[in-house]
Structures are given as C-alpha cells and as structure tokens.
Amino acid sequence: MKLVLNVWRQSAPDAPGSFVRYEPSSLDPDMSFLEMLDVLNEELVERGEAPIAFDHDCREGICGSCGVMINGFAHGPFGGVATCQVYLRDFRDGDTLWVEPFRATAFPVLKDLVVDRGALDRIIAAGGFIGVSTGGAPEANTLPVPKREADLAMDSAACIGCGACVAACPNASASLFTAAKIDHLSRLPQGQPERPSRVLTMVEQMDREGFGNCTWHGECQAACPKRISIDTITRMHGDYLRAKRQ
C-alpha cells in the first residue's frame, strides 16, 4: 500500500512551520495510522533526519493523548475514533493525506504535531469535580441513582479530554468538553449542591483560556471519538442561565 503524507513540521513554539512531503515505504493496510508514523520515524532517524513529534500513549482510544488533523478532520474523517484507532485499511491505496496539529489559540503548538492542552485541565480545576474530600463518604448504596440517569451520566463522562472538539470547531470552542463534564456531574444526586457554581466557574475559565463560543456548528459532536452529544451543550446553557438568575 502507498500513501503520500504532507506533515506539518515546526521545530519550536515560536518557529515558523510548513508542510513536508513524505512517501513512507512498506505500508500494510492492517497498520494503524500511528504505527505508520512510527515506521516513518524509524526511516527518518536512519536517514539522519529529525523524527516527527506526535503525542500518543495507550494506543487504544482511551488516554486522549493522541490527536491530529487528517485532511482537515480531527482524528481523521471516520468519526467515533481517536487517531490511534485509525487504520490504513480505511484509506484508499495512493491517497494523499494532510496531517496537521490540533489548532486553537488555547492550544499552542509545542513541536510538529504536539500541542499543549493544559487549558483543559484548568477548566476542570475551576469546578469540574464534586468537592468531597477523602474519608467522609456515606455508604455507596445510600443514594440510588436511576439506571437511565447513571447511563446518561456515563455517556458524558466518557470524554477522553483529547481536544478534538476544540480543533474541529470553527470558533475553537471548548463547549463540548466543558459541557460533558458539567452534564456528567449534574445528572447525579451527588453533583447537585455545586451545580450552579460549577457551571459559572467552568464557563468563566473556558472564556479566560481564549476558547471561542458555541455557535452551533455541530462539528465537535462529529469529531468526538466518544460520540458525546451536543445535547450536553444545551443543558450547560440551561444550567448557566439558571445559575446566573439565582
């Protein structure tokens, strides 16, 4: 199998970047996209060139480390997967791929395809938790949670924090990321006491980090590897208005 890659190369945060063309040899359709980059990097090192920096870790779609734009789509054009779950058999022999980092003001490029997504941690630190300290928890079955609500909370909690929603959004908004956490916690009885303050502090932090606002393009939902629904954003807006009024 043959593919032509145009990969964004940028040596440092302040350095200018550009696309560089590669034609990796010996590709196998059963290889994953990241394994292709591994193989290409080994070739580059053997040729005395700098390997392509890209973030990755678990390689099974759960850690959220990996993520690049492939032909303009965050995590590639297939939907419902992280970059590490993209396989070469999904492309056609001879395809040309344009590979870029996730781009957003709040995600500065560190090198090549690696960006700094620390802003997402700061949104969580601003309120994405239930404020219980270790030790004082009541017996686990004290509070029943209807199965349906628990399942919906789990749907939102499945977010892997990869930032694809931001990269896919024309406004570089982190609304889906923020709303998913708010939705997870606000569906549970344990999350009620902090529900109003949580939405205010998290949204405020999102703005402060330089993310844009949601204008309902829906690109985030299409790119999300965990298929988190934009319904969560509606609920976040509802919570926000209620909290503001209080």
Partner 1 sequence: MNFEAKIPGGPIAQKWERRRREVRLVNPANRRKYRILVVGSGLAGASAAASLAEMGYQVACFTFHDSPRRAHSIAAQGGINAAKNYANDGDSVDRLFYDTIKGGDFRAREANVYRLAELSVNIIDQCVAQGVPFAREYSGLLAVRSFGGVQVSRTFYARGQTGQQLLLGAYQALERQVGLGRLRMFPWTEMLDLVLIDGKARGIVARDLRTGRVRSFAGEAVVLATGGYGNVFYLSTNARKSNATAVVRAYRRGAAFANPCFTQVHPTCIPHTGTYQSKLTLMSESLRNDGRMWVPKAKGDKRDPRDIPENERDYYLERKYPSFGNLSPRDLASRAAKQVCDEGRGVGPTGLGVYLDFADAIQRLGVEVIRDRYGNLFEMYEDITGENPYERPMRVYPAVHYTMGGLWVDYDLMTTIPGLYALGEANFADQGANRLGASALMQGLADGYFILPTTIGDYLAGSKFAPVDESHPAFGDIEREVAARLAALMSARGTKTVDAFHRELGRIMWDDCGMSRNERGLVRALDAIRKLREEFSRDVNVPGSDTSLNMSLEKAGRVLDFFELAELMCHDALERRESCGAHFREESQTEGGEAKRDDANYCHVANWEYRGEGQPPLLHEEPLVFETIQPTVRSYA
Site residues for partner 1, 122-151, by CB under 8 A, read 124-141, 143-147, 150
Structure tokens at 46: 């053997």
Nearest to 66 by CA among 163, 189, 204, 142: 163
| Residues 2-21 within binding reach of partner 1 (CB under 8 A) | 11-12
CB of 142 to partner 1, least distance (A): 9
To partner 1, the closest distance from the beta carbon of 173 in angstroms equals 19
Nearest approach in angstroms of CB 215 to partner 1 is 27
Contact 42/52 with Cβ under 8 angstroms?
no
Comparing CB distances to partner 1, the nearer of 78 and 217 is 78
- The interface mask with partner 1, positions 67-86, x = CB under 8 A, is --------------x---x-
Residue 188 or 217: which CB sits closer to partner 1?
A: 188
**Given candidates 118, 193, 218, 238, which one binds partner 1 under the rule CB under 8 A?**
118
* Per-residue CA distances from 114 to 13, 83, 170, 228, 242 (Å): 10, 13, 20, 24, 38
Binding residue for partner 1, selected from 32, 173, 175, 232, defined by CB under 8 A: 32
Query: What CA–CA distance (Å, rounded) separates 37 from 202?
Result: 36
- Return the closest-CA partner of residue 235 out of 166, 175, 191: 175
Residue 99 and residue 7 in contact, taking contact as beta carbons nearer than 8 Å: yes
Nearer to partner 1, 153 or 233 (CB): 153
Residue 185 touches partner 1, criterion: CB under 8 A? yes
Q: Which of 1, 17, 35, 200 binds partner 1 (CB under 8 A)?
A: 35
Q: What is the gyration radius of the CA atoms in the chain, in angstroms? A: 20
Nearest to 150 by CA among 189, 115, 181: 189
Tell me: does residue 61 bind partner 1 (CB under 8 A): yes
DSSP classification of residue 42: H
Distance, in Å, from the CA atom of 88 to the CA atom of 33, rounded to the nearest integer, reads 6
Q: Please state, in angstroms and rounded to a whole number, the distance separating the CA atoms of residues 241 and 117.
A: 28
Q: Which two tokens stand for residue 168?
A: 């896919």
By C-beta, is 21 or 148 nearer to partner 1? 148
Is residue 191 within the footprint of partner 1 (CB under 8 A)?
Answer: yes
- Count residues binding partner 1 (CB under 8 A): 77
Q: Is 104 a residue that touches partner 1 (CB under 8 A)? A: no
The shares of helix, strand and coil residues in the chain, as percent rounded to the nearest 5, are 40, 15, 50
Q: Tell whether residue 23 is a contact of partner 1 (CB under 8 A).
A: no
Residue from 74, 153, 167, 223 that binds partner 1 (CB under 8 A)? 153
The first and second tokens of residue 201, run together, are 């502090």
User: 39 to 58, contacts with partner 1 by CB under 8 A?
Assistant: 39, 42, 44-46, 48-51, 53, 55-58
